Structure 1
Amino acid sequence: MTQVVMIGAGPTGLTLAMLLAKRGIAVKLIEASRSFRRIFRGEGLMPSGLAAIAQMGLSDAIEQIPHRAIDAWEFYIENRPIFRVDEPMESEGPPCTLISQPAFLEAVLEQANECKSFELIQGNAVQDLLWQGDRVSGVKLGDGRAIAADLVIGADGRNSVVRQRANLALDREAQSFDVLWFKLPTSPQFAKENVFYAILKGKEGFGAFQSSEGNFQVGWSLHKDDPLDWQQIDWAGKLASTSPDWLAAHFRQQKDAIERPLLLSVVVGRCPQWHVPGLLLLGDAAHPMSPIRAQGINMALRDAIVAANHLVPLLQQSNWAAIDAVLPRIQAEREPEIIQTQKLQQAEVAQGELIRNVPLLRHAVSRLAPFIRSRVRQSWLERQLKLRQGFAQVVLKV
């Protein structure tokens, strides 16, 4: 019998599979896609995520793939600069670093493939779960294969098939926006330093930065009350009209190169229960995160470490009762940090919505920026330090 069947070869599933396989535990990793390349994958590693990577022995891998640190964060309202924060914040390092997630996953896979106990089954989706009484005992694949396991781990993202087949509920948080994601060529003006720009003009806003792979990326907030038909918009003109002059010029220059945006539907929430006997959910399958401040990949990596700490000793014994008993403890250790992080993300969204929906406040902040800059900057900074470091000590112990 395969000891662990891992569903989903994203940051959670692949890193946890590697950790288990390196400790002699048999793992079959199932990935529906034939490639790690997707139009959008989160790139932002906060200090908490970089620390997790270091503990997994993957820091050298980061150095060998496309990566780039964020040098600063700048905020503009009504085309006026409000404040700037340089990295690393408050001399607290390392800086937020952008990585090529596909290249990162390939590097992790290379290490996992060195283990005889590891096998990747790619291009084959999970269709259903296998049950032995009221305990999950394996999975059925799209090609009809049945794979038995001591434990199934669902790390298959916010639209998790495993979660649905296990009838585990997801309590969704209300979100007022989705995201349109653009990629376009960069410019020499962005080469000297990589700044994350947050732009708000009127009720329209976006974030922009230079990615780890060298292109310029834009995330446009698409609100439920927006009257525009985003598929029919002249996006070069729209982005330019919302931007300060120096950034507007870049959008106009690249008008023929701006690709049609990808619509990212924002799903945020938590499962009240992450497990049933024989099955555990982790990462976005258990707690899909908001895109605010790039928490998804960081929480995923920390989930993998905590799960490894609890599971490795028990999987080495193949004791079903002990495995099932530890699953609630994994959720109990991870859940408080997830809840606190999502609350801070919600606070970020609420503040942005307040400024967006109250023209007088927006006007006041932009006009009074020289006088209130320090206070606004400090308020923002206090939230970011928590989002960057995490709310818990996560240490790989096995």
Structure 2
Amino acid sequence: MSETETTRTTTCVIAGGGPAGAMLGLMLARAGVDVTLLEKHADFLRDFRGDTIHPSTLQVLDELGLAEAFHRLPHHKAYTFTAMTDRGEVRLADLRKLPGKYRYIAFVPQWEFLNMITAEARKYPNFHLLMNAPVTDLVRRDGAIRGVRYRGEDGQEHEIRAELTVAADGRGSDVRRAAGLEPKEFGAPMDVVWFRLPREAGDPDDPFLRLSAGYIMVAINRTTYWQLAYVIPKGGFGKLRARGAGELRRTVKGLLPFLDGRVSGLRDFDEVGVLQVAVNRLSRWHLPGLLFIGDAAHAMSPIFGVGINLAVHDAVAAANIVGPALLRGEAPEELLARVRRRRWAPTMITQAVQRVVQRLVIGRALKGRRAPAPPDVSRLPVISGLARRFIGLGVLPEHVRLPLSKTGSQHVDR
């Protein structure tokens, strides 16, 4: 990467250091592409983000030689998923019968995952990571996007010129806004309130869904604590907060009686996070010199926890398809279009399934109606197999095709 005081030049600049951006940066760097990754925050330490690493993504890490490093991170393996209804317990998915090496979902704090990916990428001299670097605008030249402008740690505006700019900066994408693109919104009936409570010996082991008329909660085992997702009607956080933390404590106690002695730890709303759920996607994921992937291209509902995995597999597909051209210093628009075509079906199908669940289960439950009980898939082999593959592997799992180059294999100590 060449540079002056305010201008840098690279082959590919990626805006957004989330799962999609970090994975793409690593794959391009190990192949020998000069790549610069911009992250607008000072670190990756943000709570209540997508922390579910599914078998398909574990396989990608294996193909990159990172499986052992990943499994050294603090994590919890989940093999089955159940729904607890007012009428009893129902098995939703059993991943132990999946094909392949990995038959579980690993719950890992996202900052640990991102630190691991970027630490591996920084071993390559052609990878450059800039923190505290929010994108402010796009660089346009000859009818194409040729890089970004960003605000540096010095508070000044800088410019990075690149053959390809990739927007991987999430559902509130600054790059998308600068490009003047708007995603199509499909709507969602709910938002999600996240919080933690201590976990004790004798508690359930695997994550589960608690479903009741008017109430939905998801409980995720994080080894020493429960990460709890309380699903509320869209835009309902203000009303929930007005009723006070005591009302939230009573709701948790009523839905999950085994937490009775621990809800006192939920003292006020400063201890919760709120996810404003959106389901949307761009109809066009590219412009000349610009590609959108991950949540910047398609925001996913938290249903099934697959958002992080779709983002990672977008990145793998982009690297496989565009990487060889970037090694020649090119990024033809027809290749960018191929990325969109490759990832369109898994995005559309996954969102369609999420929207059905939102309408038939979540929407009905939040309105106080008795939602249809999920089927016990253990008694339905065909549905069981489909559910297992959909949750564990997704619609179109990607594999690493872009090889490690001789140039990219020259690790450096940093």
> Within 5 Å, which residues of 2 pair with 1:110-125?
110-125=119-134
CA distance change for structure 1 residues 324 and 86 in 2, over 3 Å: closer, same or farther? closer
Paired with 2:254 and 2:241, the residues of 1 have a C-alpha distance of 18
Q: 1:222 aligned to 2:227?
A: no
Paired with 1:119 and 1:327, the residues of 2 have a C-alpha distance of 23
Q: 1:185 aligned to 2:189?
A: no
Match of residue 246, structure 1, among 229, 253, 258: 258
Tell me if structure 1 keeps the 8 A contact 2:93–2:388: no
Paired with 1:94 and 1:257, the residues of 2 have a C-alpha distance of 38
Q: CA deviation at 1:44?
A: 0.9
CA distance change for structure 1 residues 255 and 40 in 2, over 3 Å: closer, same or farther? closer
Paired with 1:28 and 1:85, the residues of 2 have a C-alpha distance of 41
Q: 1:5 aligned to 2:13?
A: yes
Which residue pairs with 1:348 in the alignment?
Answer: 357
Q: CA deviation at 1:231?
A: 1.5
Tell me if structure 2 keeps the 8 A contact 1:87–1:96: no
**Tell me, what secondary structure is at the counterpart of 2:146?**
strand
In the superposition, the TM-score normalised over structure 2's length comes to: 0.85
Which residue pairs with 1:160 in the alignment?
Answer: 173
Q: Count residues in correspondence.
A: 385
Which residue pairs with 2:63 in the alignment?
Answer: 55
Paired with 1:361 and 1:377, the residues of 2 have a C-alpha distance of 26
Q: CA deviation at 1:226?
A: 5.5
Paired with 1:141 and 1:342, the residues of 2 have a C-alpha distance of 32
Deviations 1:100-136, CA, capped at 9 Å, x for gaps: 2111111111111111111111012110001003200
**Tell me, what secondary structure is at the counterpart of 2:119?**
helix
Tell me if structure 2 keeps the 8 A contact 1:199–1:205: yes
CA distance change for structure 1 residues 373 and 3 in 2, over 3 Å: closer, same or farther? closer
Deviations 1:148-179, CA, capped at 9 Å, x for gaps: 11110010001101111112220111110010
**Tell me, what secondary structure is at the counterpart of 1:188?**
coil
Tell me if structure 1 keeps the 8 A contact 2:191–2:231: yes
CA distance change for structure 1 residues 97 and 228 in 2, over 3 Å: closer, same or farther? same
CA RMSD for the aligned pairs? 2.6
Moved more, 381-390 or 294-303: 381-390
CA distance change for structure 1 residues 86 and 222 in 2, over 3 Å: closer, same or farther? closer
Tell me if structure 2 keeps the 8 A contact 1:6–1:13: yes
Percent of pairs with identical residues: 26
Which residue pairs with 1:395 in the alignment?
Answer: 399
> Within 5 Å, which residues of 2 pair with 1:1-398?
1-78=9-86, 80-84=87-91, 87-90=94-97, 92=99, 93-142=102-151, 143-190=156-203, 194-211=205-222, 214-224=224-234, 229-232=239-242, 233=244, 234=246, 235-243=248-256, 245-247=257-259, 249-252=260-263, 254-256=265-267, 260-320=271-331, 323-353=332-362, 355-356=364-365, 361-362=370-371, 379=383, 382-398=386-402
Deviations 1:275-316, CA, capped at 9 Å, x for gaps: 100110110100111100111111111111111111121011
Paired with 2:368 and 2:25, the residues of 1 have a C-alpha distance of 50
Tell me if structure 1 keeps the 8 A contact 2:191–2:236: no
Tell me if structure 2 keeps the 8 A contact 1:7–1:156: yes
Q: CA deviation at 1:360?
A: 7.0
Q: CA deviation at 1:81?
A: 2.1
Q: CA deviation at 1:257?
A: 9.0
Paired with 1:89 and 1:343, the residues of 2 have a C-alpha distance of 26
Tell me if structure 2 keeps the 8 A contact 1:10–1:156: yes
Paired with 2:373 and 2:144, the residues of 1 have a C-alpha distance of 56
Structure 2 unmatched runs, 5+: 1-8, 403-414
Structure 1 unmatched runs, 5+: none
